Amino acid sequence: MCGIAGYIGKNRACPILIDGLRRLEYRGYDSAGFALAEDGGVVILKAVGRVEELEKQVGERDFLGTAGIAHTRWATHGKPSKENAHPHVDCRQEIFLVHNGIIENYKELKESLKKRGHRFSSETDSEVIAHLIEEYYGEDSLEEAVRKALLKATGTYGIAVLSQREPNKIVAARKGSPLILGVGKDEFIIASDVAAIIRYTDRVVYLNDGEMVVIGRDGYEVSNLERTRIDKRVDRIDWSVEKAEKQGFAYFMLKEIFEQPEAIKNAIRGRVLSADGNVKLGGLDDVRERLREINRLVIVACGTAYHAGLVGKYMLEEYAGIRADIEYGSEFRYRKPILDSKTAVLAVSQSGETADTLAAVKEAKNKGALALGIVNAVGSTIARETDAGIYNHAGPEIGVASTKAFTSQLSILALLTVFLGRQREMSCVTGKRILNELAEIERHIKTILKQAKEIEKIARKYSGFNNFLYLGRKYNYPIALEGALKIKEIAYVHAEGYPFGEMKHGSIALIDENFPSIAIVTKDSVYEKTISGVQEIKARGGKIIAIATSGDKEIKKLVDDVIYIPKTLEMLTPMISVVPLQLLAYYFGVQKGLDVDKPRNLAKSVTVE
């Protein structure tokens, strides 16, 4: 995810673009840049880091230009650097382009453009579009050249293009990435999100996939790539600036919970080889043969990522037939872990900057183990330190409580299980089964999200309790841990996550009518055993909220409240059983009037030991 802003009108563009980027910064913040039509030419400025770094570069400079495009980047292809920052330019430095999305066929396009003499200066997929436009920008107008270029590109894009030859227009187009046109009085703003527009106008045109807009100083025209003109309705936004940044969600946490279907889709996209019941993980290509020889995997992670790793251990041992251990990053290097060249250490980290996890990676490398990563933040330290890895592509996670990164990590761990399993004993049929079920998870999560209102009511009903026991068995044990962590960090409510079978060895002593339990009792291989645990709690007067499989009528008779989730393959159940627990924690926190995006004492990325 990146943020795009463009301005053309009667006012100076620079401050409007910088303000727009600030409001879009949640979409990505590893580098930023803009291109401004100025003095008959185009000025381009880029900075690595946040938008404020770009602002520092602007400094006292008094840009007068009244048309420009800008971008704040969340790196996907190529590390965060000035070269990879947008805008990108063609060979003649005439065309300036900002892009959000992924051009899937960029490698082929780049190769053929190189053969035609184009010189590239970045590692990005985006730059190919600038050069493609250049190919057609002879006799054609800018919009015609953009149209022809986009017909060659596959994947997703939201783009804005400025040309030195035609500085009084901006051409923008979208497919799969959002673009909204703000229609002011004698001025127009194009942006990825209304957050960048709302200060200037509340009148907007929402572009649809396949649409292109040519914005001039006096008006705009929308058409499709087949040149058919489209009359668009002008809508009014009734959101506050604050809300617009969160796309109408009250908090980033809620937005990110609702983004999970998309995050999972992005984690899987392009990686499944359906016919072979196998997966392709490009980031592991270089170590593919070494992975065949690995006989042990040690997963290292912290917090929520640790819980994902614990699910991964269960998946890998059951289906890939490889010994898998899980370690807290903070513990790993302070004991004497036994590692050798047949061990791979897999760091799981959303931010890629967690100091404890990073230290574990370094320890692993020192001891000759292969270091792998599952990381969301492209170009982060862990991504760079590991020998090979897999990116989540979940987009920026802004809420301090990790939600969409968790389910994305589980998706990747499922893919890795198939990958390593197929290198070993896993059959094609089993591989296909896992992948088919994985493709359905997105839909299952959407079904659960529709129950948000009922989950909110349950949270209200239990809001007077200050202690909870979260219980789950086998694949749902890590989810009990994760559910408890979520409510602790978001609602400051004490909770313990526990393996259901362990409860009778001690913590059952806590149970009474004032100590409710959240029991994950999905229909799986341990269902009967879990039900025994439910009965043990009831026999002691404990209240129970159950997370159960749709259609399980019996459970209703045993517990106080039920949240139903769809049935899936047992190893994938955590990807959906966690969602009601995220929502419960969210509503508990909100009902207590807390800022769930910024819980006290916490930071999004823990870069200290």
Nearer to ligand M6R, 264 or 401 (CB): 401
Q: Per rule CB under 6 A, is residue 402 in the interface with ligand M6R? A: yes
Residue with the CB atom nearest ligand M6R in the bound state: 303
Secondary structure of the chain: what % helix, strand, coil (to 5)?
40, 25, 35
Locate all alpha helices (DSSP H) within 424-499, ordered by sequence: 428-449, 452-461, 477-491
Q: Per rule CB under 6 A, is residue 407 in the interface with ligand M6R? A: no
DSSP designation for 283: G
Nearer to ligand M6R, 350 or 549 (CB): 350
- As measured in angstroms, the least distance from the Cβ of 291 to ligand M6R is 23
- The single residue among 354, 411, 522, 530 that binds ligand M6R, judged by CB under 6 A, is 354
Length of the chain: 609
What residue type is assigned to position 535 of the chain?
A: Q
String of contacts with ligand M6R for each residue 360-399, x by CB under 6 A = ----------------------------------------
Nearer to ligand M6R, 260 or 278 (CB): 260
- As measured in angstroms, the least distance from the Cβ of 590 to ligand M6R is 16
Q: Per rule CB under 6 A, is residue 201 in the interface with ligand M6R? A: no
C-alpha 200/C-alpha 242 separation (Å) is 14
Locate all alpha helices (DSSP H) within 269-354, ordered by sequence: 288-293, 303-315, 329-332
Q: Per rule CB under 6 A, is residue 351 in the interface with ligand M6R? A: yes
Q: Per rule CB under 6 A, is residue 598 in the interface with ligand M6R? A: no
Query: First and final CA of the chain: distance in angstroms?
Result: 29
DSSP designation for 464: T
- As measured in angstroms, the least distance from the Cβ of 605 to ligand M6R is 5
Q: Give the bridge partners for 471, in sequence order.
A: 498, 519
C-alpha 510/C-alpha 495 separation (Å) is 12
C-alpha 415/C-alpha 454 separation (Å) is 32
- As measured in angstroms, the least distance from the Cβ of 301 to ligand M6R is 7
- As measured in angstroms, the least distance from the Cβ of 80 to ligand M6R is 16
Q: Per rule CB under 6 A, is residue 430 in the interface with ligand M6R? A: no
- The single residue among 189, 302, 378, 544 that binds ligand M6R, judged by CB under 6 A, is 302
Q: By rule CB under 6 A, what count of residues binds ligand M6R?
A: 16
- The single residue among 304, 381, 407, 411 that binds ligand M6R, judged by CB under 6 A, is 304
Nearer to ligand M6R, 245 or 256 (CB): 256
Token pair listed for 189: 């703003």
Please state, as a whole number, how many other Cβ atoms lie within 10 Å of the Cβ of residue 541.
11
**Environment class of residue 439 by beta-carbon count within 10 Å: exposed (0-12), middle (13-18) or buried (19+)?**
middle
Q: Per rule CB under 6 A, is residue 605 in the interface with ligand M6R? A: yes
C-alpha 127/C-alpha 390 separation (Å) is 23
- The single residue among 122, 266, 357, 407 that binds ligand M6R, judged by CB under 6 A, is 357
Token pair listed for 447: 């079904």
- The single residue among 400, 435, 521, 565 that binds ligand M6R, judged by CB under 6 A, is 400
Residues catalogued as catalytic: 2, 604
Q: Per rule CB under 6 A, is residue 303 in the interface with ligand M6R? A: yes
DSSP designation for 320: I
String of contacts with ligand M6R for each residue 92-131, x by CB under 6 A = ----------------------------------------
Nearer to ligand M6R, 312 or 566 (CB): 312
Nearer to ligand M6R, 192 or 409 (CB): 409
158 within 8 A of 190, measured Cβ to Cβ: no
C-alpha 496/C-alpha 471 separation (Å) is 8
- The single residue among 350, 386, 530, 582 that binds ligand M6R, judged by CB under 6 A, is 350
DSSP string, 324-337: EEEEEHHHHTTS--
Please state, as a whole number, how many other Cβ atoms lie within 10 Å of the Cβ of residue 447.
14
What residue type is assigned to position 372 of the chain?
A: L
Find the binding residues for ligand M6R in span 476-495 (CB under 6 A). Answer: 489
Nearer to ligand M6R, 548 or 578 (CB): 578
- The single residue among 72, 156, 260, 349 that binds ligand M6R, judged by CB under 6 A, is 349
201 within 8 A of 186, measured Cβ to Cβ: no
Residues engaged in binding ligand M6R (CB under 6 A):
302-305, 349-351, 354, 357, 400-402, 489, 602, 605-606
